Structure 1
Amino acid sequence: MAGPATAAQRRVIEGADPVTGRLRGTEAQLAALVRRGLAFRHPRPPHEHFLTPAGHRLREAPRGAVPEEVPVRADSGVFAARVGGEEARPPESGAARAREVRSAWQGLLELRRMTNRDGAVDRPCGWERGHLVQAAALALEAAGHRPAEGASGGYRVRATPQPEAVAVHDSDAAALVGYAETLEGAGWQPGEYTDPRSRSRYLLASPRRV
């Protein structure tokens, strides 16, 4: 992050949409916020700009406060969905994490509205089909489900050889029912299956197209 935001940039941040974090400002202001890690530019037309989690924290912080830096991931741009069983240190928990997840989910719904041809928000968009694991994991975490940590119980979302399908595992097979309901409500088509070798139950979920 390249120093604190200017007064003009702070006004742009404070004027962001309270739900989606969508920004309005001059091209120079928005570009500067992107360089500081406080905003990101959506890759698809109309190329709107949105607050990153760091931008949300700055908006909520008292004037003059400098928000904690957060790493900007090259794959997702600003947010790392918890897929479960991460080897590395997981993202922060608690209220800050809940705020980031809520913001990311609202941003994803806005992305659906902007990129689905009919503006529908009840089914996944092209970005989700290109990032199946992250999209399914975000839907689960946003609904309050707990990702697995280490060997503990919780969801684990994994890629599969099947096109446009992810697998959702949990050591507690009963939890799969709740995951299926959440994914179906988020526009996915889930089905429960049994692994022929391990005999363990798992979900196979694909983004709904219509």
Structure 2
Amino acid sequence: MARPPTAAQRRLIEAADPVTGRLKGTEAQLAALVLRGLAFRHPRPPRDHFLTPAGHRLRETPAVPGPAAAVAESAPAAAGVFAARIGGEEAAEAGPARLREVHSAWQGLLELRRMTRPDGATGLPCAWERTHLVQAAALALEAAGHRPAGAEGGGYRIRATPQPEAVAVREPDPEALRACAATLEKAGWQVGEHTEPRTGARYALASPRRA
């Protein structure tokens, strides 16, 4: 499940050009929309931001007023808000549209890294990732083409752990688990493989690097 956009983000979406979906806002505001899969940045100058299909759908959905907003807070991502696959989702959509949304979200995350670091580097996780560990790790894996586990099993699963700033990545295929670990390391995470004491199953423990 993913949180709905904030009131400020909703205003930006509703103010987008009704035909092209072109957005106006600060770099941080626009990057946050890209991260949610609601906007994308055009690769050519002037590199304006535009609504994605999910952003257009959200604009066409009336906002939930008053106390009913509490219901929207727990609404599933089907309402149009992007959520990375952590593994175990049922009836997970796949195809070109999903690939585009994942790519846009990953580019938005890299942009957020760039804007929040004094040197403008994108190699290390940002503050958002440290407060959304499971989603951040899942986005890194899905953007790199790894397959999340479906209802039938097989593929990666990412879950929170009691350890601060650490997630567990499980994948039944040892080679696929090592590939997941390599992807997270490349994305700026510190990863180590461990063994479950009771089952003997291997898993990876990943934490965002600080330096």
Same fold (TM over 0.5): yes
Q: What is the CA RMSD across the aligned residues, in angstroms?
A: 3.4
1:79 matches 2:82: yes
Alpha-carbon distance in 2 for matches of 1:131, 1:155? 18
Alpha-carbon distance in 2 for matches of 1:150, 1:80? 17
The 5 A counterparts of 1:54-203 are 55=39, 68=57, 74=73, 78-86=81-89, 88-90=90-92, 92-203=93-204
Letter in structure 1 aligned against 2:159: R
Alpha-carbon distance in 2 for matches of 1:97, 1:12? 19
Q: Is the 8 A contact 2:28 2:112 kept in 1?
A: no
SS, match of residue 48 in structure 1: helix
Which ranges of structure 1 fall in alignment gaps of 5 or more residues?
Answer: 14-22, 31-40, 62-66
Aligned identity (percent) is 56
User: Which runs of structure 1 show a deviation greater than 3 angstroms over 4 or more consecutive aligned residues?
Assistant: 5-12, 50-56, 58-61, 67-78
SS, match of residue 112 in structure 2: helix
Q: Is the 8 A contact 2:138 2:158 kept in 1?
A: yes
Which ranges of structure 2 fall in alignment gaps of 5 or more residues?
Answer: 1-9, 41-49, 64-71
Match of 1:18 in 2: none
Alpha-carbon distance in 2 for matches of 1:128, 1:8? 30
Q: Is the 8 A contact 1:54 1:68 kept in 2?
A: no
Instruction: Report the Cα offset of residue 55 of structure 1.
Output: 4.9
Alpha-carbon distance in 2 for matches of 1:136, 1:101? 13
Q: Which has the higher relative contact order, 1 or 2, with Cα contacts under 8 A spaced 6 or more apart?
A: 2
- Tell me which protein shows more helix as a share of its residues: 2
TM-score (norm 1): 0.70
Instruction: Report the Cα offset of residue 150 of structure 1.
Output: 1.3
Q: Is the 8 A contact 1:160 1:167 kept in 2?
A: yes
Instruction: Report the Cα offset of residue 116 of structure 1.
Output: 2.3
Alpha-carbon distance in 2 for matches of 1:103, 1:140? 14
Match of 1:48 in 2: 29
